[in-house]
A and B are shown apart, each in its own frame.
Chain A
Amino acid sequence: MGIFFDFINANETLKYVDEHSEKEYSIHDLDLVEFEDPNKELVFAYLDNSIQAIRWFWSIVKSKHVVVLLSENLDEKLKSTLEVNYLPKYIIDYKRDTILNYEQSKQMGCFVKKMHNSVVINENIKLLLSTSGTTGSPKFVKLSETNILTNALDISQYLNIQNTDVVPLNLPIYYSYGLSILTSNAVIGNRVVCSNTDILNRLFWENLDRFKYSSLAGVPMVYEMLDRIGFRKKKYPSLRYITQAGGKLSNELILKFADYSFENNLNFYVMYGATEATARMSYLEPSQIKNKLGSIGKPLKSGTFSINQENGELQYCGPNVFGGYVESPTDLDSFDQSNCLNTGDIAQVDQDGFYFITGRIKRIVKLFGLRINLDEIEHYLSNELHSSIKCIGIDDKKIGVFYCDVDLNNSKINEILIGIFKLHISTIVINRIDKYPVTLNGKTDYNELSRIIK
Chain B
Amino acid sequence: MTNTDKLETAFSEALMIEKSLIIDDLTYQSIPEWDSISHMVLISELESMFDISLDTEDVIDMSSVLKAKEILNKYDILF
Report A's interface with B, CB cutoff 8 A. 73, 198-202, 205, 221, 224-225, 228-230, 233, 368, 418, 424-426
Contact partner, B56, options A199, A224, A229, A368, Cβ 8 Å: A229
Instruction: Name B19-51 residues within 8 Å CB distance of A.
Output: 28-29, 32, 35-41, 43
The answer to whether B61 has its CB under 8 Å from any CB of chain A is yes
Q: Which residues of B contact A224 (CB under 8 A)?
A: 40
Report whether B59 and A228 are in contact in the complex, using a CB–CB cutoff of 8 Å.
Answer: yes
Known pairs A73-B32, A200-B28, A201-B28; A221 contacts B59 (CB<8 A): no
Report whether B29 and A201 are in contact in the complex, using a CB–CB cutoff of 8 Å.
Answer: yes
Please, could you name 13 A-B residue pairs with CB atoms under 8 Å apart, sorted by A? A198-B29, A200-B28, A201-B63, A202-B60, A221-B37, A225-B36, A225-B40, A230-B56, A230-B59, A424-B16, A425-B16, A426-B14, A426-B41
Interface range for B:
20 to 34
Report whether A200 and B61 are in contact in the complex, using a CB–CB cutoff of 8 Å.
Answer: no
Report whether A424 and B59 are in contact in the complex, using a CB–CB cutoff of 8 Å.
Answer: no
Report whether A228 and B37 are in contact in the complex, using a CB–CB cutoff of 8 Å.
Answer: no
Known pairs A230-B56, A233-B56; A202 contacts B40 (CB<8 A): no
Report whether B60 and A201 are in contact in the complex, using a CB–CB cutoff of 8 Å.
Answer: yes
Beyond known contacts A201-B60, A425-B13: 11 more, CB 8 A cutoff: A198-B29, A198-B35, A199-B36, A201-B28, A202-B60, A225-B40, A228-B40, A228-B56, A228-B59, A368-B37, A418-B16
Report whether A200 and B36 are in contact in the complex, using a CB–CB cutoff of 8 Å.
Answer: yes
**Which partner residue on chain A sits nearest B40 by CB separation?**
A225
Q: Quote the shortest CB–CB distance from B69 to chain A (angstroms).
A: 18
Report whether B60 and A229 are in contact in the complex, using a CB–CB cutoff of 8 Å.
Answer: yes
Report whether B36 and A198 are in contact in the complex, using a CB–CB cutoff of 8 Å.
Answer: yes
Bound together, the chains give a CA A191 to CA B35 distance in angstroms of 27
Report B38-79 CB contacts with A as 1/0, cut-off 8 Å. Answer: 111101000000000000110111010000000000000000
Task: Identify which of A200, A225, A424, A426 gathers the most chain B CB atoms within 10 Å of its CB.
Answer: A200
**Which partner residue on chain B sits nearest A198 by CB separation?**
B36
Q: Which residues of A contact B35 (CB under 8 A)?
A: 198
Bound together, the chains give a CA A229 to CA B29 distance in angstroms of 17
**Which partner residue on chain B sits nearest A222 by CB separation?**
B36
**Which partner residue on chain A sits nearest B43 by CB separation?**
A228
Of all A-B residue pairs in the complex, the 9 with the closest CB atoms, nearest first, are A230-B56, A229-B59, A200-B36, A198-B36, A426-B41, A229-B56, A424-B37, A200-B39, A202-B60
Q: Which residues of A contact B59 (CB under 8 A)?
A: 200, 228-230
Bound together, the chains give a CA A73 to CA B37 distance in angstroms of 15
Q: Which residues of A contact B41 (CB under 8 A)?
A: 424, 426
Bound together, the chains give a CA A228 to CA B32 distance in angstroms of 22
**Which partner residue on chain A sits nearest B37 by CB separation?**
A424
